[in-house]
């Protein structure tokens, strides 16, 4: 496939990303999902979930200070709620606090290693910090989950990261998969 065709494919995938109904910071940007967990941890988990969701909203609006405060409350309510640490990672990534971002993504993955959103977000972080080759396995882990609602986003992100490492054949394959999922 020639470079023009590859570029058109990449533009097409980026256009599909723009059609997503969720507000996004950029086409392959991290995603945030939430889950209600019931049981003994229900009350604490619910408080953590609500504050994490508030943090996600503040993050989406660019208010990192309030997002961090909401995440601290979420972590205090339930230190084992994995989404909190994925969101901490996103906020610290935005603030260019890469060490803190990585620590939080990794903590989230230790708590829930197969969570597709955490895997996608960590993969995007790795790609954005020059570790494109490392990022691919996290996007692939995200799409392995049959309940993941937006696998095309992880395939698109993997395609972008593959392009950054000048692997156009791999990028094309990921973009094709993204188009098949959409």
Predicted local confidence at residue 18, as pLDDT: 35
Q: Are 13 and 160 in contact (CB under 8 A)?
A: no
Residue owning tokens 């395609």: 159
In this structure, are residues 58 and 87 in contact, taking their beta carbons and an 8 Å threshold?
no
| pTM of structure | 0.77
The Cα 85–Cα 119 span in angstroms is: 12
Question: What integer pLDDT is reported at residue 6 of this predicted model?
Answer: 44
DSSP structure string for 119-180: HHHHHHHHHHTT-HHHHHHHHHHHHH-TT-S-HHHHHHHHHHHHHHTT-HHHHHHHHHHHHH
Query: Domains of the chain (ranges plus CATH)?
Result: 1-18+132-182 (no CATH), 32-112 (1.25.40.10)
pLDDT in the model for residue 30: 60
pLDDT of residue 3: 44
- What does each of the 182 residues of the chain score in pLDDT, given as a tens digit? 444 344 434 434 444 343 333 334 444 556 555 544 444 556 999 999 999 999 999 999 999 999 999 999 999 999 999 999 999 999 999 999 999 999 999 999 999 999 999 999 999 999 999 999 999 999 999 999 999 999 999 999 999 999 999 999 999 999 999 999 87
Q: Residue written as tokens 């060490």?
A: 99
* Residue 31 confidence (pLDDT): 55
Is 17:28 a contact under the CB 8 Å cutoff? yes
SS3 96: coil
């Amino acid at each position: 496939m020639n470079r023009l065709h590859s570029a058109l494919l990449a533009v097409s995938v980026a256009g599909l990303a723009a059609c997503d109904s969720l507000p996004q910071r950029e086409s392959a940007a991290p995603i945030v999902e939430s889950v209600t967990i019931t049981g003994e941890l229900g009350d604490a988990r619910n408080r953590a979930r609500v504050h994490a969701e508030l943090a996600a909203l503040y993050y989406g609006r660019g208010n990192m200070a309030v997002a961090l405060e909401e995440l601290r409350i979420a972590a205090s309510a339930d230190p084992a709620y994995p989404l909190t640490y994925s969101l901490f990672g996103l906020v610290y990534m935005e603030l260019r606090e890469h060490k803190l971002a990585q620590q939080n993504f990794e903590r989230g993955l230790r708590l829930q290693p197969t969570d597709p959103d955490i895997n996608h977000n960590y993969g995007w972080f790795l790609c954005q910090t020059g570790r494109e080759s490392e990022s691919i396995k996290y996007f692939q882990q995200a799409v392995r989950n049959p309940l993941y609602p937006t696998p095309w986003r992880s395939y698109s992100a993997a395609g972008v990261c593959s392009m950054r490492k000048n692997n156009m054949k791999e990028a094309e394959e990921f973009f094709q998969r993204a188009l098949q999922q959409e």
